[in-house]
Structure 1
Amino acid sequence: MPNKLHRHPPNPQASASASFEGVVLPHLDAAYNLARWLARDDTDAQDVVQEALLRALRYYASFHGGDARVWLLAIVRNTFYSLRMKVPADGVHEAFDDEMHAPPDEQPGPEAQTLLALDVGSLQRALENLPHPLREAIVLRELEECSYKEIASITGQKIGTVMSRLARARERLRLELSCPSKEARQHDVP
């Protein structure tokens, strides 16, 4: 007669945790990127992502498939705005780490490096100057490559609103980047 092994019943919490790790955690970089652009501060972005992941884990049972990236980005966005409501407006950090968002190092020459630094810095400043709704739309579309439908799902807006915000964000960026800055005008030769 074969020996009967005592089997323990499967632990549903362990399998849910493993499922969460496999489905949600691959999108951690996208979550941090969105949080970083919304919060404009590394520490605040880390706090937003940490709180968002806790919320995502807590409500993972309510996730019934679909696009986990969109689901997580929606949680990150909502977490940012709910945490922002708790902090007075003067407590918002406006610092920005230029090195974090610098382009990959492809060893351009000194002149190209100077021009590239001016261009990247100008784009970063232009993005920072956008109001939150426009900035989040352009970051989700251009940096996270979300579709209009995904952005609508993440932000809870209609697709028409998303399209309108993207058009306004692009126009404001175009205007700000096409107008020479005061610093550039100071260096112009008459």
Structure 2
Amino acid sequence: MNGFRPRLVFSRPAPTPVAPDQAERFRLLVLPHLDAAYSYARYLARDPAAAEDIVQDAFLRAFRAFASCRGNEKAWLLTIVRNCFLDWTRANRRAPPDIEAETVDGEHPETILQRRQDAEAVRATVEALPEPFREALVLRELEELPYKDIAALTGAPIGTVMSRLARARAMLATMLLAREDEGSAA
């Protein structure tokens, strides 16, 4: 064909290769927080499948931006997870599916059922909290982040974080007691 050779044109530049020592540091410092990232994403999204997508996107972003991490890898990663969740909510707003409780082996079936019901009641109650309160509660109580890190992650002053936590705990207690009263009345 008269010597014409097509030239490949890429819309994006090829990714910058990551140094092997950076990849190893990422694996050692950030990967241990995978469960925390998933848990946080699951509470934010209220959907296990969406949480997986959010965490996958967050880890990809974190890997690419690992050189910008300046200590406290867990808070840094959870900030990325939060940003990915916000991007996800803008892109897909959909109703979450039902969440299945995990089974516990070696226990009486009634105990397992009661534990599942209790866990689902607490999970549903936490998920029913308004987002800023739910987020603060999950970060403090489940992920055990200090107030300072929660404030940095959410962009709220420490006083606001403390107020949100106090209000979230009060709302959670009120809602759980109301559920308990409804259950005993039935």
For Structure 1 versus Structure 2, the TM-score category normalised by the shorter chain is: 0.7 to 0.9
- State the 4+ residue runs in structure 1 displaced beyond 6 angstroms: none
The answer for the alignment partner of 1:93 in structure 2 is 95
Indicate which of 68, 77, 87 corresponds to 2:73: 68
Distance 1:163 1:120, change over 3 A: same
* Amino acid aligned to 2:107: Q
Give the 3 Å change call, closer, same or farther, for CA 93–163 of structure 1 in structure 2: same
Aligned to 1:5: none
Instruction: Decide whether the 8 Å contact of 2:101 with 2:116 is kept in 1.
Output: no
* Residue equivalent to 2:35: 29
The alignment's C-alpha RMSD in Å is 2.2
Unpaired runs of 5+ residues, structure 2, are 1-16
Give, in whole Å, the separation in 2 of the partners of 1:43 and 1:164. 31
Query: Shift of residue 183 of structure 1?
Result: 5.4
Structure 1 spans left out of the alignment, 5+ residues: 1-10
Aligned to 1:132: 131
Q: Which SS does the other structure have where 1:125 is aligned?
A: helix
How many corresponding residue pairs?
Answer: 170
2:14 aligns with: none
Match of 1:78 among 62, 83, 95: 83
In structure 2, relative to structure 1, the CA distance for the partners of 1:21 and 1:180 (3 Å cut) is closer
Aligned to 1:6: none
Shift of 1:86: 2.1
TM-score, normalised with respect to structure 1:
0.79
Partners of 2:179 and 2:63 in 1: CA distance = 47
What is the 5 A alignment of 1:41-190? 41-64=47-70, 66-87=71-92, 91-100=93-102, 105=105, 107=107, 110=110, 112-180=111-179, 184-187=183-186
Counterpart code for 1:107: E
Q: Distance in 1 between matches of 2:136 and 2:59?
A: 21
Q: SS state of the match for residue 35, structure 1?
A: helix
- Give identity over the alignment, percent: 43
Per the alignment, in what secondary structure is the counterpart of residue 135 of structure 2?
helix
Q: CA deviation at 1:40?
A: 1.1
Q: Tell me, in whole angstroms, the C-alpha distance in 2 between the residues paired with 1:167 and 1:156.
A: 18
